[in-house]
Amino acid sequence: MKSWRKGSKRWERHLRQELAAPICIALGKVFRELRLKRRLSMYAVAKLAGVSREMVRRVECRLSKPTVDMAARMSSAFGLRLTRVVANAERRC
């Protein structure tokens, strides 16, 4: 069984997820669903958005909160406006 002790990576990941705003969590889910629906790889989305594949992974897995610029870039990679993606995410909160 993995350790939940303070300072461990698992504990830090748990805290990040607990402290993340619900909209950030929902945005990660929306971006992942959009990517899978369009059958795109993380690499393809990263290339279209002009960000690293690792950043796409971190946003989708809710390990990082996307900045407004990052969210706008990822939205445009799917041909959508950020407002539409945020509205979709808000419905999930």
Q: Is residue 1 part of a domain?
A: no
Q: Which domain holds residue 18?
A: 9-92
Tokens of 83: 């407002």
Q: What is the pTM of this model?
A: 0.76
Reference 49, options 29, 63, 34; nearest CA is: 34
Q: Is residue 65 part of a domain?
A: yes
Q: What is the pLDDT of residues 24-36, one digit of tens each?
A: 889 999 999 999 9
Q: Is residue 3 part of a domain?
A: no
pLDDT of residue 16: 65
- Residue with more model confidence, 70 or 10: 70
Tokens of 85: 């993606």
User: Structurally, how many domains does the chain consist of?
Assistant: 1
pLDDT of residue 19: 54
Q: How many CB atoms lie within 10 A of CB 66?
A: 22
CA–CA separation, 51 vs 36, rounded Å? 18
CATH number at residue 61: 1.10.260.40
